[in-house]
Structure 1
Amino acid sequence: MQLAFLPSPPIGVIHLGPIPLRAYAFCIILGVFVAVWLGSRRWMARGGAKHTVGDIAIWAVPFGLVGGRLYHVITSPDAYFGEGGEPIRALYAWEGGLGIWGAIALGAVGAWIGCRRHGVPFPAYADVVAPGIALAQAIGRWGNWFNQELYGRATTLPWGLEIAPEKRPASSPDVATYHPAFLYESLWNVGVALLVLWADRRFRLGHGRAFALYVAAYTAGRFWIEYLRIDEAQQFFGLRLNNWTSIVVFTGAVVYLVVSARTRPGREELPDTEIPAIPAEQKASAV
């Protein structure tokens, strides 16, 4: 008998009358809040306006959610369009299934649009929000814990995650504990956020390099965590699609770091500094 393990929540949704309150959604919302809060503090520390990060997030977050869901559905089509699948469930994002690659890619498009509308340099915005995005991912991963999904291989380690019988793989219905991949990734993402915060303060990263460091660090961890996972996924040459994506994105981020440091050293200035408040007596005289 295994003497120690991590339990899974017995439920992931509470109904307030006819309204379902889903833990997965709350984790995503909390992560977005933390990312905007930290990003705003970092933006103001660089002389930017107080509400700029939040205003641009209004564009970035919806784009990111749509992109995350699209990536998940495109890379896992059988669950929705295969034999026995239900196509309508492709819209049920609250049940879990947001691919970070799609979320970052399309979220970046939304952020770029927001930056254009506010006259803000997109690389500077990406640098400022990078550690907050890592923390948002760390928090969001706990939604997988409530849904009992995206766990790793079977294990008898003391921190093995107990999975309910109906949530276990068909290949091992009698095995109760698995690697808590969600926890590994959550802790890794906290470390990524701390790394970016330290490096940005130490080296004054600019022109998108803080964001590139976040991407490189995240993909390095995602590669080995993905290797532990046993949920169905497309594979190519013995590796899961997300492993190949990690390799490609990691390489691109490192190349950008090196090239950007040589061609555009230093840190850019922000154009949207706060406008000082006009004293009441000056307003009256102006009228």
Structure 2
Amino acid sequence: MNSVAFSIFGFSIKWYGILIATGALLGFFIASFNCKFRDIDYDTIIDIALLSLVIGVIGARVYYVIFQFNTYNGNVLDMINIRKGGLAIHGGLIFGITTAFIMCRHKKVDFLKAVDTVAPSIIIAQAMGRWGNFFNQEAHGGPVSQAFISHFPKFIQTGMYIDGTYYQPTFLYESLWDFVTFLILMFVIRKCNKKGIVFFLYIGLYSVGRFFIEGLRTDSLMLGPIRVAQLMSCIGVVACIGFILFSYRKEIVKK
């Protein structure tokens, strides 16, 4: 599996970066359609999203390095090199959403409307980004038999054949789950007017899938014996349920 798409003047352009950039562009395109469902200006979304994206990528790397700090042996250049992967989505979300919140306050924009608008864009970009993991041959699960991997397309089998062993294509599971979540969010944003529901559904649905998929992976970031992504997923599910119950509290009480 070749992680390099092509080279320009001797500089290698990797599939990982291409797919992340393509996912971001697709996300902006989708957001342009979703703005009308939350009555928010697209130019405002662009302003907020561009800075949030940049800070989010930095945050994703910082988050990853914090949990893998001992493996870098103090090498700062390796710490900032993302060409081989090493971006943690939870770090990206924490930094990116915080940036969006601050910018919304500064621009006097409704934060929940803004994040509702971009939630489908975020998850479809994640779905594409996982294929960058495929080309880097990372974010996979444990060893599997040839009989098991034979149920997948040939190119998946080839990509998951690493150093003489076949591995569970967990990147594919998460990409498919992200795409299903994207379809759900695109439906909900058109049918539900309650602010914040789309965003918190994104948090909840992504967290459910990530919790189970993370249990299959071999490269999890760890906090002692705890898989960090699973811990964050539990928090995400609780936050989702809590927000939905809060949003519909009056309807629930009436029943």
Task: Provide TM-score, normalisation by structure 2.
Answer: 0.87
Within the alignment, does 1:251 sit opposite 2:243 as a pair?
Answer: no
- Which sits farther off after the overlay, 126-135 or 48-57? 48-57
Q: Deviations over 1:14-63 (max 9, x none)?
A: 22113321211111111111111111211134433232211111221111
- Which sits farther off after the overlay, 113-122 or 100-109? 113-122
Give the alignment's Cα RMSD to 1 decimal: 2.3
Within the alignment, does 1:27 sit opposite 2:27 as a pair?
Answer: no
Within the alignment, does 1:12 sit opposite 2:1 as a pair?
Answer: no
**1:213–1:45 distance in 2 versus 1, CA, 3 Å:** closer
**1:79–1:232 distance in 2 versus 1, CA, 3 Å:** farther
Within the alignment, does 1:74 sit opposite 2:66 as a pair?
Answer: yes
Q: Deviations over 1:127-152 (max 9, x none)?
A: 11111111010011111011111111
Aligned length: 245
Q: Share of identical aligned residues, percent?
A: 31
Letter in 2 for 1:31: G
- Gaps (5+ residues) in structure 2? none
Assess if the C-alpha contact under 8 Å between 2:141 and 2:169 holds in 1. Answer: yes
Equivalent in the alignment of 1:181: 170
CA distance, structure 2, for counterparts of residue 220 and residue 164 of structure 1: 24
1:108 to 97, 104, 115: 97
Q: Deviations over 1:240-259 (max 9, x none)?
A: 22112211221122112211
Q: Deviations over 1:188-240 (max 9, x none)?
A: 0001111112223233331x121000000000000111011012532545x42
Equivalent in the alignment of 1:224: 212
Letter in 2 for 1:178: Y
Within the alignment, does 1:88 sit opposite 2:77 as a pair?
Answer: yes
Q: Deviations over 1:51-110 (max 9, x none)?
A: 2211111221111011100111112223213xxx74420100122011111101100122
Deviation at 1:163, TM superposition (A): 4.9
Deviation at 1:261, TM superposition (A): 2.7
Deviation at 1:125, TM superposition (A): 0.3
- Gaps (5+ residues) in structure 1? 1-8, 266-287
Assess if the C-alpha contact under 8 Å between 1:24 and 1:142 holds in 2. Answer: yes
Equivalent in the alignment of 2:125: 136
Equivalent in the alignment of 2:48: 56
Letter in 1 for 2:59: G
Whichever of the two has the greater Rg, that structure is 1
Q: Hey, which of these two has a bigger chunk of helix by percent?
A: 2
CA distance, structure 2, for counterparts of residue 164 and residue 29 of structure 1: 24
Task: Provide TM-score, normalisation by structure 1.
Answer: 0.78
CA distance, structure 2, for counterparts of residue 131 and residue 17 of structure 1: 37
